[in-house]
Structures are given as C-alpha cells and as structure tokens.
Amino acid sequence: MSNVVVIGTQWGDEGKGKIVDWLSEKADLVVRFQGGHNAGHTLVVDEKIFKLSLLPSGIIRKNTNVLIGNGVVIDPFHLKKEMDELQSQNIKISSENLIISDSAFLILPIHQVIDKLRENKKNTEKIGTTGRGIGPSYEDKVGRRGLRICDLYHKEELSLKLSKLYGFHNIWLKAMGEKNLNPEDIFENLWDIGQKLKSYVQPSWYLINKYNRSGSNILFEGAQGTFLDIDHGTYPFVTSSNTIASQAGVGSGLGPTDVDYTLGITKAYTTRVGSGPFPTEDESEDGILLGKRGHEFGTVTGRQRRCGWFDSVLVRQAVNLSSIKGIALTKLDVLDGFKEIKICTGYSLNGKIVNYLPSSEKQQKNLKPIYETLKGWKRNIAGTRSLKDLPKEVKFYIKRIEELIGCSIIIISTSPERGDTIYLKDPFDQY
C-alpha cells in the first residue's frame, strides 16, 4: 500500500493532469482535495483530448475510482455538465466509480455574480480570478453560512439556508447599486440537480479510511500550484484554498501519517495566469516563443499565460513546503531550439541577494532574478521515451535543476501524449 500526493510547485498549469493520469493506473482511488472548477486539467490519450476541472483525472481509467473530497467547492451545475460531456466521450461514470463528499461546500450562482462584480469594480490591479465563484464560496465556508452537498437533500432546510445566504449577500449587492437576487429563482433547479447527484454522495472520509485500511493505493490530486496557496503564495494574488501537500489530509479526511510520498509537478520553464509577481517573466521574444511552443493558454479561461525562465528559488521553496520527495519535470520539449537557456538561481532585492520568496507583496514586486545561462540543444526531443536518447545538454539541464532545488527528478515528460514520458522511479513503488 502507498498513498501519493501530487501537487504543482509553481503557479499551476504544470501538467499535473497527464502525470496523475499515468499514476492513476496503479491507484485504486484518486482524490481531489481542494479548489473548484477554476482548475483545468487537459489529458491527451491516443490523440483524444479530455478536459477536466472538477472530476479527478483518474475518471478516464476503466478500473480506477475517483473521489471529490470535502476540501473542494462544487458548482453542482458545472459538475453535472462535466459528467455529461465525459459520458458523451464514452467515459463510464456511475456511483461505483465516482464518490462526492457529502460535506463539500457548494458554489451557487450568487457566488459567481459577486466574484465577477468584485473583479470588475477593482480600481487597482486585479487579482485575476476566473469569476467562477470559488473565493466567495470559501468565504461563506469560513463564515459558517455556506451550504454543503448534504444540504441538498432536505427541502425545507435547503430553502431556509438558501434564503439566509442570499439575504446576507444581497446587503452587499444593494450597497454596490446592484439588483438583489431572489433565491427562489434557483431553488427548484438546485433541488433537481441535487437529486441527480444524490447517488454519488457519500461520507468521503469514511470511505477513504476504508480504502486505506484495506491496503489500497490512494492518489491525491492537487489543483493550482504552490504559489497560489492562500498562506504560502504570492498573496493577495492567490487562490482561496491551501494548495500544498498538507491540505491533502485536511481536504479528504485522512491523517497526515498516512501520506507516504509527495510528488511535485514542475514545468521546465515558468508560467503564470493573471496578475501578481513573477520574477523570471520574460516579455521579450524568448518569452513569446515559450508561450507559442508551449500552447500556453488556460484550460478553464483560455487566457494567455505569462511565460519566463525556470525559477529554482521558487521550486526549492515548494519542495520544502510540501516535503516533496520527487519531481516530475514536464514540457521539456518546449525548450527545443533555444541557443541559451536561463535558470534563476537567486534574487537581488535592493542590492542584497535573497534565496527565498519574501512574504511581502512589495518585496516580491521588486525582486530581480539572478540568472545562470546554460547551453541549449538543437535536436527535437519531443516524444523521447528513454533517458539515454536525450542530448547531453538536456541531461546537464536536468542535473543542474536537481542540484539547485535539492530534489531528484524521477519523471520527465516530453510531450502531452500519455506515452511520451521517461519514468526513472515510480512513486507507488517507493515503499
């Protein structure tokens, strides 16, 4: 038995979906433990594309069960839509292979209205929210007024709680000069969608522990990336949940001593969507070329990602924050053809060298990257499936990254295709 947590080590979009898809072949259960449908995973299997945002990546595997944990916030209408889309692609989804936590909190239409209004009314730099209601839903959770999946199955109580929630938010809407929203407008649709999802809903913590006691392999799938973490990220330009490995247990109901291995997913360069500090951002031709070659557009929003060179300071910090034991290096083939490749080895802040990401927003904005320049490679490595077939310059790049971040690279991805991956170690075979 082995339980593995997979997280992103940068600002998301590291290619977690493909790696989780591969690992899920050996997993009995794949668990999403935080975030909402603001996280997009794209899987390419035999040239067929699957786009997921709430359902764990293991759902496309025939013999793998998946679970949406209590730490996830769920838009029930979007979830049903995503399920229907996958079923139209001949993916089997039933109460036998999909479990939804009865204590996961709901994203409601009013949350999305508030999310978009706040972002659009900002006079200063925007956070870069997807506008899907994730932040307001988490706020209601912490404020102890949110609705959960289990509330969908008691009609009178659902009506009462929905009215109270809308009453609370209508005060703000009125103050902003906006039209108040009526909970009755969504009540019947919410009740109906609850009935459609009912067969999938179970006490997830109980089932996870049952899997754990039986000696099963459990894979925990994180969303977003380390530096979008509400506590450890580039605040306030972050998501509304914890994205580091510690959240896996909290967001699913499993104790911390039952996690055996944490795998960090790391892109061979760096990208970011939306606003916020980005020390190694490259707005020159190199950065533009990285974006074009890497097809850097968000799965959820379609927004173009900001691109830059590999930041070893960030990834080393992520390794420490989540006790990462191995790295999956993705999109290495995007660097094909560059004469020179840069790696950020430290920062300069007001004339002083800094070897970590400061917490201060002002300091983060003033960081200047210190680069080490490596020789690039001319050969196309896309589709390479063996370490020995990589050019020596690629091997040196990989080795240098390992030295700088203090962690071994155990998986190397050379294209979006499932099979185009070099596996040096298997996280499930470490114990």
pLDDT digits (tens, 9 = 90+) for 165-179: 999 999 999 999 999
The alpha carbon of 284 is separated from its chain's Cα centroid by a whole number of angstroms, namely 28
How many C-beta atoms surround the C-beta of residue 46 within 10 A? Answer: 7
Catalytic residue among 37, 41, 111, 232: 41
| pLDDT score of 406 | 98
Catalytic residue among 13, 21, 140, 420: 13
| pLDDT score of 178 | 94
Quick check: is 41 catalytic? Answer: yes
Give the CA distances from residue 291 to residues 11, 126, 145, in Å, rounded to whole numbers and listed in that order.
15, 22, 42
| pLDDT score of 21 | 82
Strand-pair category, 421-423 with 310-311: unpaired
- CA–CA separation, 242 and 232 (whole Å): 8
Q: Which amino acid is at 321?
A: L
Low-confidence ranges of the chain (pLDDT < 70): 1, 122-128, 298-302, 430-431
3-class DSSP string for 277-322: CCCCECCCHHHHHHHHHCCCECCCCCCECEEECEEHHHHHHHHHHC
| pLDDT score of 60 | 87
The alpha carbon of 396 is separated from its chain's Cα centroid by a whole number of angstroms, namely 29
Quick check: is 13 catalytic? Answer: yes
